[in-house]
């Protein structure tokens, strides 16, 4: 996948991105919202091996760039029945709160719906992540359910999750032609 919009780019992650992903994934500040306040504790070798096994029809890790500089990551998983599950993380704190999430998600979702033939996209987020929920709902996602105390983070704190879905016909793109 290679998507471009103005100064933004979403591209397939490659082996050479493993060091950057490990830097982000092992940083507890970046990963706290996902339940890993101590980071993942992974290695570049493990990440590179996982990237090698990515395929367009099953799962793909993606790198987000702004002005050719990596600022975050996205992913999609084929869940069957024309359904994709997606995720996004803007890891560069200086690039957060600039409205990029809805643009980047619009780029990915447009491709998944229009080019890859998916009819439905699902995702989940931490109930505490109100910023993400606001963005998802602006794009047309509908809240399916909240699961209280769905899992425990690395510190043993219970975390609740919000699940969303969107169908192609409900998608509101923020890309300006």
Task: Determine the average pLDDT of the residues in 149-167.
Answer: 94
Q: How confident is the model at residue 16 (pLDDT cuts 50, 70, 90)?
A: very high
Q: Are strands 83-90 and 120-126 parallel, antiparallel or unpaired?
A: parallel
List the one residue out of 84, 41, 89, 98 whose CA is nearest residue 62: 89
Cβ atoms within 10 Å, residue 171: 18
What pLDDT shows up at residue 34? 82
Indicate the SS3 state at residue 51: helix
Euclidean distance between the first and the last CA atom of the chain, given in angstroms as a whole number: 20
For the stretch 24-76, pLDDT in tens is: 999 999 998 888 999 999 999 999 999 999 999 999 999 999 999 999 999 99
User: Which residues share a beta bridge with 8?
Assistant: 5, 66
**CA-CA distance, 129 to 110, in Å (whole number)?**
24
Four-way CATH pick for 2-170: 3.90.1170.50, 3.40.630.30, 3.40.640.10, 3.40.50.300: 3.40.630.30
pLDDT at 98 over 70: yes
Say if CB 105 and CB 89 are below 8 A apart: no
Percent of the chain with pLDDT over 90: 94
Task: Determine the average pLDDT of the residues in 106-133.
Answer: 96
pLDDT at 177 over 70: no
Task: Determine the average pLDDT of the residues in 87-111.
Answer: 96
DSSP state of 86: E
């Amino acid at each position: 996948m290679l998507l471009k919009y103005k100064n933004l780019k979403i591209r397939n992650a490659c082996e050479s991105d493993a060091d950057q992903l490990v830097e982000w994934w092992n940083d507890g500040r970046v990963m706290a919202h996902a339940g890993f306040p101590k980071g993942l504790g992974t290695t570049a070798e493990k990440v590179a091996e996982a990237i090698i096994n990515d395929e367009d029809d099953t799962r793909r890790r993606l790198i987000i760039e702004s002005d050719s500089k990596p600022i975050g990551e996205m992913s999609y998983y084929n869940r069957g029945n024309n359904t994709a599950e997606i995720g996004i993380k803007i890891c560069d704190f200086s690039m957060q709160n600039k409205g990029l999430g809805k643009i980047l998600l619009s780029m990915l979702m447009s491709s998944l719906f229009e080019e890859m033939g998916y009819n439905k996209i699902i995702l989940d987020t931490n109930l505490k992540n109100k910023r993400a929920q606001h963005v998802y709902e602006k794009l047309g996602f509908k809240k399916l359910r909240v699961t209280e105390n769905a899992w425990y983070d690395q510190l043993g704190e219970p975390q609740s999750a919000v699940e969303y879905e969107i169908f192609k016909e409900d998608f509101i793109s923020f890309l300006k032609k």
